[in-house]
Structure formats: C-alpha cells, structure tokens
Amino acid sequence: MRSDAAKKGLERTPHRSLLYATGITKGEMGKPFIGIASSFTDLIPGHVDMRALERFIERGICAGGGVPFVFGISGVCDGIAMGHSGMNYSLPTRELIADVIESAACAHQLDGLVLLTNCDKITPGMLMAAARVDIPAIVLTAGPMLSGRWGGRRLSLVRDTFEAVGRYGSGKIDSSELENLEINACPGVGSCQGLYTANTMACITEALGMSLPGCATALAVSAKKKRLAYESGMRVMELVEEGLSPGKIMTLPAFENAIRIDMALGGSSNTVLHISAIAKEAGIELPLKVFDKISRETPHLTALRPGGDYFMEDLEYAGGIPAILNVLSEKLHDCPTVSGKTIAEIARSGEVFDEDVITPLNNPCHTEGGIAILWGNLAPQGAVVKQSAVSEKVMRFKGKARIFEGEEPAMKAILDKKIEPGDMVVIRYEGPKGGPGMKEMLSPTSAIVGMGLADSVALITDGRFSGGTKGPCVGHISPEAMEGGPIAIVEEGDEILIDIPKRRLELLISEEEIKKRLSGWTAPEPKIKHGWLARYSRLVSSASTGAVLEGGKK
C-alpha cells in the first residue's frame, strides 16, 4: 500500500504512535488509508449539509475495508462574493484547493481519496488535484437545491434575485415583492437551482467518469444523495484494489465526452476555463478550437435556467446525465468510469422520462451546443459566449463602446440608467492578471436583463460571467487588457461587432489605428500589490489556457 511509506517498518514507530493518537486501532493500521477531502462550511448553501454526507462516505469506506480520514478544504460562495472585492478570490481558490489536496494526500501518503464538493471553483480544484496526485479517487457532488416557491411560481437565485435588482431599479416590481423574492428564492441546502457553474461542473464530472451515475443531479435533500455517498465510499476501496487511478479515466476521449455533454446541456461558460485547467493537470492539451468544434457538432438538448425555464430538479426527474448519455450515445467515446461501468453501459441504462426537459436529437432546443468561441481583432486568442442563453434577435449585434475600467463603475452606470439601447458595455482590467482573479460579473449582466435591455445592449469583458448570465455577453477576451490585449485600447464610441454564427468579435477600426493605439499603451499599476492575490496575478496564465498558475514565468 502507498500508506506503508508512512506506517510500516521499525523506523516508522513514531509515525504509528502519532496515528494511534488519532484513535485508530492496531487492526486498522494494516488497512488502506482513505482521505475524505471535505469542503464543508457554514458559509456556502451548497456545502452546509456535508457533515451528513461525510458520515455516509465514512460508513462506505469502513464497510469496504478502509480507514477514513476527513480533512478540510476551503471554498467561496460565488453568489455571496459577487459584485464586490470578495469575487477577486473566487477563481484563485481553485488553485489553492488543488494545492491543499495534493499536500494532504502526498504528505500522509494516502492510498485513495473521496472528494466531497459542490460549488463553483471547488469541484474543478478537486478534479485538478485528482489528476495531479493520480491515486484512486472518486468525486461526490453534494447536489442541487430545490426551487423556491412564492406567489404560485417557482423561483431560482439568478432570475428572482440578481435580475430582480434590475427590475426593481426600473420600477417593474416594488420593495415588498423584492423582499419576498430574496427570502424565498433559495429555500435550503444545495447548489443554486439552474445550470449555473456548480451544477454544470457536477454534470461534467459525471460525464468525465469521475463520479457515480446519477450523482450530478441527485438533489441535496434526497436520501439518494446519501446512498451515493455510501456507495462512493465503498467504491473507492475497489478502485484502490484495482489500481484504477484518475489518469486512466481522465483521458482525451473522456474530456471530449465531457465537453459534448456540456454543450448538449448548455452549461456555464466557466467550464471552458475549468475543463482546460483539469486537462492540463492530466497532461492533455485542449485548445479552444476543440470546444468550438464539438459545439458545432452537438445539439443543445435542455432548456434549463438561465437559458430556459426548467430547473435541475426537472433534469433529475427526466433521467439525469445517464439519459443525456443515452440520447448522445452514438456521438460518445466508450470510456471507463469510477463506477466500474463504461460510458456505453451507463448510456444503455439511461432513459428519458420527459422529452420536454431532455429533447430528442431530431427536435433539439438549438442545433448547436451551448457555448461558442469567438475570434477576431478584439480577441486574437479567443473569447467565450454562452450562445444558448442569447436571443436569436441579438446573435449578431453591433454597438457603440461604453468603456468602464472595472465592474463597479459599469454597475453604477447601469442602475443609474446611463446605458441605452445600442450600447456595447466594455468592462476591462478584470482578467486573470488585471482583476486580479477574473471576477465573475453576474450583477451587471443580470441588471441589464432586469431593466429590459437584454435584446438591445451587449456586454464584453476580459473577465468572466456566472453560469447564470444570459444575453449577448462575451467574456474571457484574450489577451486581457493587463497583458496589452486589444480590449485595452478600445475608446468610447468605437463600434464593435459580435457575430456569434460567424464566431467573430471585431473592433471596427482600421488595423493601422489598432497598431497606433497599442504602441502608445502602457500597463497600469496592479490593483493589488500585497498578499496572495498579488502573487497570483504574477503567475497566472491567460484565460485562453485555463487561467492556471505557470510557476513563476514573467
């Protein structure tokens, strides 16, 4: 066993003494040691109920003949961190999470891992660690939240709180309705109810083969989720016995499957960053053109919020990810999974119970997948848009630039009604280096929607968006402004063209003028000069390569 390095032999007498101090028995000393990387916290709704799941995982590990050790992982709730300086920390925590798991697993020579996760950057951070450490591992995502209820209708976080801010600002709802929405939209534990980043990453994890079938959509409040926790604990012991590590599961074909499922679902644009980063840890190159190629070949099959009206609970009852795999089976690679079944076997067992929620191939929501990659003189290294959440009316949009050097002044201008139809809101210096941390900007995009401007105003940025963003909003523009990308030299009133069908993002000025402006550009002072974020900004790569830490390159 790997853990023998820390517990076997004469020279490990003091090590065993310390292990006995944790309460384990002499009989357990000869069993595999399994780490449970738990992201339990009282700060995140998707994580507050994880103590119960930890117990079920422990029971499964013990039943399978192992010894469980819980260790803690930090996390950020993107919804709570949104719209202020806290959001600078969200994406960087992904790297911290991977580093902490690597540290715990390697320092203690663990034989296997169960990765208990749920929300936005925590799930990809754990998958990055699994790929890096490459010991038998299984992921348990803690599950989606139930829809809220008020006034005879179902509620979700984004549409009924973030977008409600804009509706209130434009006089469409009063303070009483706003208060009822905020207290009823999120009724309890779980990841937010739509196909936002947390739930998209859960679906990708299952499609990638790193969690058990049915895990992604099993609701946080369900007994099914507890059974999956127990079964994950049992199964990790079999993975240890079989020597089946993430490197044998997270292969290029498996990543292509995961991207295809993402496109069919119409998932969060953040997944481009996260899948790229996980693949990099697995030693696999996934250029942006792969995402776009798969998107063009894959129909969009589910109209979940924000791009539609269905919720994660509807996807669960319609058959979940196994049902999606079934519909797309002819387009998928047959790959191994942590369950012991192959993707083809899981797909054959999947069944669609509601074709309104999971549409057939001959009647999709859209003929292309959820995400499109744009290129052009404004994004030489690419940009990302969630095309499944863009109205047909504005798939091609030309507007006049309104320049904002950060999220906060843009948000103020929107709420002060200084943004008009035909405007192209440009938010820059919010990329991985410039933010730093590539802030997620759901507040301004939701305010635009809430104020009734979704089909008449576009927003582009070198930052990123929540999975809850909808409308003609283009993010991840690379190179970012802080690196001297063309977005840095856009001026007030410049015309910009977004053409999603043709995959173009163009600044409509001459190449000579672009070169002239770039030659006169100088980088501004970093916004943060001390602490973790200052180090992060010096080391982080471009969004086009996953915004990963590069190890000290200048």
Annotated catalytic residues are 466
Residue 357 CA to residue 340 CA, distance in Å, equals 28
* Other beta carbons within 10 Å of 107: 9
Rg (CA), the chain: 23
Which of 41, 73, 42, 68 has its CA nearest to residue 55? 68
**Alpha carbon distance, N-terminus to C-terminus of the chain:** 41
Pair of tokens at residue 80: 């709570």
- Give the DSSP letter string of 514-527: HHHHHHT--PPPPS
Which of 457, 452, 460 has its CA nearest to residue 480? 460
SS3 81: helix
> Is 216:206 a contact under the CB 8 Å cutoff?
yes
- Give the DSSP letter string of 102-129: HHHHHHTT-SEEEEEE-STTHHHHHHHH
Strand ranges in 28-183 using DSSP code E only, listed in sequence order: 33-38, 67-72, 112-117, 137-141, 148-150, 153-155
Pair of tokens at residue 335: 């790959």
> Is 142:53 a contact under the CB 8 Å cutoff?
yes
> Is 324:301 a contact under the CB 8 Å cutoff?
yes
Which of 130, 148, 151, 149 has its CA nearest to residue 139? 130
Burial class (CB in 10 A: 0-12, 13-18, 19+), 483: middle
Residues 6+ apart with CB under 8 A from 110: 2, 3, 33, 34, 35, 69, 104, 135
Residue 201 CA to residue 178 CA, distance in Å, equals 30
> Is 220:143 a contact under the CB 8 Å cutoff?
yes
Residue 480 CA to residue 463 CA, distance in Å, equals 8
Residue 88 CA to residue 530 CA, distance in Å, equals 13
SS3 444: helix
Burial class (CB in 10 A: 0-12, 13-18, 19+), 151: exposed
List C-alpha distances in Å: 204 to 34, 255, 428, 509.
24, 9, 29, 40
